[in-house]
């Protein structure tokens, strides 16, 4: 599967690949057997579902219904429980349906779960934004832009609406003179004035291609002696700061950004299982191999050891299988 608009520099080392040869009928039979009679063979379920691509899982769903006249997801729900059930059901949803639901649920509760909204929207490429918007409209009969507007305010709302357009430049030729001009403009809009001209930051950070933004960040560092990330941290606060920082972190090193998100989902007391599941399920077919490397470089421990320290049972085994460690 291609992910349009992704920066091409070294990203794209998945841990879950489409299995070849692929026999959805045989997989459906294995799953049926694993859930028939007394007890459930969770290991068999992991062996099939954690080692197939999302597209292949959709074919297994279809075969299962054709063979047995039953819905595989309903079957899995009745046989599994807890976090393992949550993880398996997340795996079974078409990718963009899963992401659309994560945003919808983050907006739907009392108060908004801004962290999830920022993670999904600010790290997405044009192609992903358009796919999520289309699926969101189909699932909920409402526009993603409308729901984001209704749940956010001020500069953060403007950032969300800009990103929701999915209109970032995809011209990957870097223009050094334009990067210099943008770096100067951001300096004038932030550090060189009292107060911050947020719209100048919004325009540059939401519009420029990833390679062009990398050039802007390098230029900013050259003229000020410190990073644009540091400047944003100083000039902004709250959700708008988080949103802009997320975009810049993804520009600088996307796998390192997701490694940081995974670390935060597990550090300290308790685990943010919803974030952990979303991150593993959404990245395992994209760049989880790179994220594992970035995780170990940043935290001195493997992602697998963190998961094993925080999770247990079939939930742990399934997560490890998805990151290529079981």
Q: Which residues are annotated as a binding site for Ca(2+)?
A: 266, 268, 270, 310
φ and ψ at residue 136, rounded to 5 degrees: -60, -45
Separation between Cα atoms, residue 91 and residue 57, nearest integer Å: 8
CA distance 205 to 213: 7
Q: CA 235, CA 241: separation in Å to the nearest integer?
A: 8
CA–CA distance, 116 with 153 (Å, rounded to integer): 16
Classify residue 281 as exposed, middle or buried by CB count within 10 Å of its CB (0-12, 13-18, 19+): buried
Integer Rg of the chain from CA: 21
> How many alpha carbons lie under 13 Å from residue 235 in its C-beta half-sphere?
26
Specify binding-site residues: 266, 268, 270, 310
181-192 CB burial, b ≥16 within 10 A, e <16 = ebbebbbebbee
What are the DSSP calls for 99-144, one per residue? HHHHHHHHHHSSS--HHHHHHHHHH--HHHHHHHHHHHHHHHSS-H
Give the integer Cα–Cα distance in Å for 155 and 299: 33
> Quick check: 303 and 311 in contact, CB under 8 A?
no
Q: Which helix (H) or strand (E) holds 234?
A: helix 228-235
Length of the chain measured in residues: 326
């Amino acid at each position: 599967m291609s992910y349009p608009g992704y920066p091409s520099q070294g990203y794209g080392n998945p841990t879950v690949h489409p299995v070849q040869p692929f026999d959805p009928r045989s997989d459906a039979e294995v799953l049926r057997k694993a859930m028939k009679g007394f007890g459930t063979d969770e290991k068999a379920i992991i062996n099939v579902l954690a080692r197939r691509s999302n597209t292949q899982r959709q074919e297994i769903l279809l075969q299962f219904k054709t063979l047995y006249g039953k819905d595989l997801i309903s079957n899995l729900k009745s046989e599994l429980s807890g976090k393992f059930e949550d993880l398996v059901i997340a795996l079974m949803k078409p990718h963009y349906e899963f992401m659309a639901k994560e945003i919808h649920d983050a907006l739907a509760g009392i108060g908004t779960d801004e962290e999830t909204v920022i993670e999904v929207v600010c790290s997405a490429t044009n192609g992903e934004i358009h796919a999520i918007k289309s699926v969101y409209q189909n699932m909920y009969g409402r526009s993603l832009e409308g729901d984001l507007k209704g749940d956010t305010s001020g500069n953060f709302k403007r950032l969300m609406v800009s990103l929701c357009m999915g209109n970032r430049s995809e011209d990957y030729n870097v223009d050094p003179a334009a990067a210099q001009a943008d770096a100067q403009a951001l300096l004038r809009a932030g550090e060189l004035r009292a107060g911050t001209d947020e719209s100048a930051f919004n325009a540059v950070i939401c519009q420029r291609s990833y390679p062009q933004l990398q050039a802007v960040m390098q230029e900013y560092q050259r003229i000020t002696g410190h990073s644009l990330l540091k400047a944003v941290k100083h000039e902004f606060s709250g959700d708008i700061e988080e949103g802009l920082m997320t975009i810049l972190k993804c520009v600088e090193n996307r796998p390192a950004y997701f490694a940081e998100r995974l670390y935060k989902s597990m550090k300290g007391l308790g685990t943010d299982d919803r974030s952990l599941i979303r991150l593993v399920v959404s990245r395992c077919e994209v760049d989880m191999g790179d994220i594992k490397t970035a995780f170990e470089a940043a935290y001195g421990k493997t992602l697998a050891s963190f998961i094993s320290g925080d999770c247990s049972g079939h939930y742990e085994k399934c997560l490890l299988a998805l990151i290529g460690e079981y």
